[in-house]
A and B are shown apart, each in its own frame.
Chain A
């Protein structure tokens, strides 16, 4: 078995006829936390959905745990997904179930364990994210940060080999943000998982990840360990890390010249 849990070679993807990803090369070793960064709309979520098998590559190779995602059938995909967790941007908790039932959902669906044991396992996962006390609350009673953590507990319920996080830090206050970041790192290490984090929070990611890919307009423009990234002089990375307004990523959406728009033509 290869050392890489995720292998991506020259991957391209188009929504109908619009190319969103153009020749991505990426790999994630088992046990690593890797981050995919880039400005909004560059195709990060699309890449994550491809890894999760929600869509198929238009071109190129995408292999997860040895399974070719371009070829896999429904049955194989579902088998793979049992060892895969995904944390959605806003948690996507089931609103008609309590916190405990949310976490127990996969255990009930995929195992024949007795109810007692399912409860204990779910409580264990909730304890790992520090929310055992919230087991009887409904998702509508949770704050954004708590909902994210419950969703995290839910996605690790079956001890997956791989977890995909779509912007786990978006909309969180600095404390929740730090808590979530630490949790991702700690769970990855203690459960021996591999994590792929899509984010645009540079500082939090630089603290916790092993490797970073920068995506811009569907291609990978930079990659490296956090130290390499911090030292990088690439203009794009520099702009991103330091949050500068203008640079390779323009402040202005492409437009005709300002003068022409204001009808000031001389």
Chain B
């Protein structure tokens, strides 16, 4: 009994120490990749390739999800607002929820499971098949050649994907609210425009998605780079990427929201 408790405490201690250690190592990894980013900006096609594999390949899932989320918001929002007799405020509700929260957060969650896991698996496999070691032996730094372009590709894609998600969502809300249900089109847009502020809402939303992009790609790259060079190691790392980055997105969202929309 006592022994079991002690063991539990010991395991917990191990996990905490392990987590702190990983945070330290990943921070160093992050700084290292920033340090080695110069080269890939001089060879921009390396980044374009990664914008393709993180951004373009995530396009369909982002557009479709955005549309559906917006349509659901339109439907639910209408039901609720109708009971207060202010269904013209539907545009405000849909756009503010999307631009401030759902756009950046849901797009980042989708990005983590679509692009983040792919990055981890790719880097992990490159490591397991000694491609990274081979690169190093050819006097090419893998951080500069493989890691940094993927990082910047992801960081460029994320805000664009979040903006597309929000825009699609607002169109979805408009489709359900205005076209299907028949909310007055004029007040839908004008109330939205009166309530949504460019700097406070839209710019802050974009800053959020930029931060999420940095977090997700860094986690995905680190997990891949750190994965044990076996099939099992890579598959575990992939799972860990999705779990860790989802938690990071939600945690960061809380912190950023507290800073940005405090007192408004």
Contacts and interface: CB of A to CB of B under 8 A. Distances in A.
A89 B139 contact: no
A109 interface: yes
B221 to A, nearest CB: 16
Interface stretch (A3-11, A76-84, A171-179, A194-202): A76-84
B133 A88 contact: yes
A90 B125 CA distance: 13
B139 A93 contact: no
B139 A79 contact: yes
Given A95-B125, A95-B126, A109 B138 contact: yes
A96 B119 CA distance: 13
A86 interface: yes
A89 B130 CA distance: 9
Q: How large is the interface on B (under 10, 10 to 19, 20 to 34, 35 or more residues)?
A: 10 to 19
Given A88-B130, A90-B129, A94-B131, A54 B138 contact: no
Interface in B90-130: 122, 125-126, 129-130
Contacts of B135: 94
13 contacts: A52-B137, A54-B137, A81-B137, A81-B138, A86-B134, A88-B130, A90-B129, A90-B130, A92-B131, A94-B131, A94-B134, A109-B138, A155-B138
B130 A92 contact: yes
A67 to B, nearest CB: 13
B25 interface: no
B129 A54 contact: no
B133 A92 contact: yes
B131 A93 contact: yes
B79 interface: no
Nearest to A93: B131
Contacts of B126: 94-95
A124 to B, nearest CB: 18
A236 interface: no
Nearest to B132: A92
Contacts of A78: 139, 141
A110 interface: yes
* B138, B140, B141, most chain A CB atoms within 10 A: B138
Interface in A10-69: 52, 54
B136 interface: yes
B43 to A, nearest CB: 9
A82 B121 CA distance: 29
Interface of A: 52, 54, 78-79, 81-82, 84-86, 88-90, 92-96, 105-106, 109-110, 155
Nearest to B53: A96
Contact of A95 (B129, B133, B136, B140): B129
A54 B134 CA distance: 11
Interface of B: 122, 125-126, 129-131, 133-141, 145
B131 A81 contact: no
A96 B136 CA distance: 17
B211 to A, nearest CB: 29
A194 B113 CA distance: 48
Contacts of A81: 137-139
A200 B2 CA distance: 54
Closest 7 CB pairs of A and B: A81-B139, A92-B134, A92-B130, A78-B139, A86-B137, A88-B130, A82-B139
A39 B138 CA distance: 28
Contacts of A79: 139
A86 B139 CA distance: 11
Nearest to A52: B137
Contacts of A85: 137-138
A90 B134 CA distance: 11
Contacts of A95: 125-126, 129, 131
Nearest to A160: B138
Nearest to A86: B137
Contacts of B130: 88-90, 92
